[in-house]
Amino acid sequence: MKPYLLLLVALLLSGFSFAQEIPARWDELVASDFPKALEKSSKTCILPIGILEKHGPHSPIGTDLIHVREWASRAVKSEYAVVFPDYFYGQINEARQQPGTFALPSKVIYELLEATCDEIARNGFDKIVILNGHGGNPEFLEFFMQSLLNKRHNYAVYLYRPENDPDYAAEYKKLHKSPINGDLHAGESETATLLYYRPDLMRMDRATNESGADQKRSDLPGLYTPIWWYSSFPNHYAGEGDKATSEFGKFITDHEIASFIKALKEVKADNKTIPLQNEFYDRVDKLNK
C-alpha cells in the first residue's frame, strides 16, 4: 500500500476512534449516547454549583461558576462522570447591593435544587455529586442534604468537602503573599485560580481600585447577624487580589483537581450509601404504620 494511502487509513481510523468518545457535559451528549454515558459514569452525575456575584473590581461576576465548571471539566478527563450544565442558583442574599448579583428567594433555590436532583435521577443517575464553588453556599447545602431524609429518594447525593492535607497547607502558606486570614473573597487565592483558568477575563489593573480590608464596623462576640458580611466588607471584596499570580493558581488547581478525582472514584465505587438510605426509609415507614 502506498504511503499516502496508509496515512489516509490512519487518519480515518483515528477519526473513528475520536468519534466514539462521548462528551462528559450533559448538554453536549447526543441522546442516543446517554445509555453509554450512564454506564461509563457508573450512573454518576456531577452538579457543579457556582453563583453570580461581584468578585472585587477585577474578577468576573461568574468567578465561582467558571471555577467549578473548569474544575469539573478537568477532573472528568481522568475519571469520567457526566457533568450537569451551568448551575448558579445558590444563596447570595449578602451581595444584593452589588450590580450583577442573581439572588433568588430561599424557598425557590431549595425547591429548584431538589427538583434538579430529582430530574437528574429520573434520567438514570443514582449518584449525584455536588461540587460547590461559592463560600456562601455550605450552610444552605448542608441543610438541603439533611432535608433529603424527610422523604424517600431513589438516589444518593454527595456533597464534596475537601479533606485537610497538611503538606498542601504548608506549601500553600509558604507561597501565599497576602495575610491568609483576610483572603476570603476575590482575594489572592481566588484571583489566582481564575488567573490560571481564565486569564482573558481578568482585569488585574483594577484590583486595587477598591479596598478589600475588613472595615470592622460591628463587634458582637458570640452573636451572629445576617448583616455581618456587609458590615465587614461593604465592597464585597475581602483580600488583596493584586497579589495573585497564575503560578499560584496552578498550584491550587492542580491540588483541588487531584483531590476531587480521588473523591469521585470513591463515589463511583460506593455500594453502601443507597442501601443504608433504603434501610433508614424502611424503618421510618415501619414506625409510621
pLDDT at 289 over 80: no
Q: 17 pLDDT band (50/70/90 cuts)?
A: very low
Assess if residue 74 is contained within a domain. Answer: yes
Q: 16 pLDDT band (50/70/90 cuts)?
A: very low
What's the mean pLDDT in 185-211?
A: 98
Residue whose C-alpha is closest to residue 149's, from 283, 253, 255, 26: 283
Assess if residue 286 is contained within a domain. Answer: no
Assess if residue 14 is contained within a domain. Answer: no
Q: 288 pLDDT band (50/70/90 cuts)?
A: confident
Asked whether the beta carbons of 184 and 247 are under 8 A apart, the reply is: no
Give the model confidence (pLDDT) of 149-189 as tens digits. 999 999 999 999 999 999 999 999 999 999 999 999 999 99
Assess if residue 273 is contained within a domain. Answer: no
- Stated pTM of the model: 0.91
Domain that holds residue 56: 22-267
- Residue labelled with grid coordinates 468567578: 63
Instruction: Name the amino acid, one letter, at 260.
Output: F
Looking up residue 38, the CATH number of its domain turns out to be: 3.40.50.10310
Asked whether the beta carbons of 211 and 240 are under 8 A apart, the reply is: no
Predicted pLDDT at 14: 47
Assess if residue 16 is contained within a domain. Answer: no
pLDDT at 113 over 50: yes
Question: Picking from 17-31, 111-125, 143-157, which range would have the lowest pLDDT averaged per residue?
Answer: 17-31
Ramachandran quadrant class, 100 (left: phi over 0; alpha: psi -120 to 50; beta: rest): left
Predicted pLDDT at 191: 98
Instruction: Tell me the CA distances in angstroms from 203 to 46, 54, 167, 192, 194, one per residue in order.
Output: 30, 13, 32, 12, 11
- Residue labelled with grid coordinates 429548584: 112
Asked whether the beta carbons of 95 and 123 are under 8 A apart, the reply is: no
Number of domains making up the chain: 1
Q: 3 pLDDT band (50/70/90 cuts)?
A: low
Q: What secondary structure does DSSP assign to the chain, as a single string?
A: --HHHHHHHHHHHHHHHHHHPPPSBGGGS-GGGHHHHHHHTTSEEEEEE-----BTBTB-TTHHHHHHHHHHHHHTTTS--EEPPPB--S--GGGTTSTT-----HHHHHHHHHHHHHHHHHTT--EEEEEE--TT-HHHHHHHHHHGGGS--SSEEEE--PPP-HHHHHHHHHH--S-GGG--BSSHHHHHHHHHH-GGG--GGGTTSS--S-------TT---TTHHHHH-TTS-BS-GGG--HHHHHHHHHHHHHHHHHHHHHHHH--SHHHHHHHHHHHHHHHT-
Assess if residue 136 is contained within a domain. Answer: yes
Assess if residue 11 is contained within a domain. Answer: no
Give the model confidence (pLDDT) of 122-156 as tens digits. 999 999 999 999 999 999 999 999 999 999 999 99
Assess if residue 116 is contained within a domain. Answer: yes
Asked whether the beta carbons of 269 and 44 are under 8 A apart, the reply is: no
C-alpha cell at 286: 415501619
C-alpha cell at 93: 442574599
58 vs 191: CA distance, rounded Å: 9
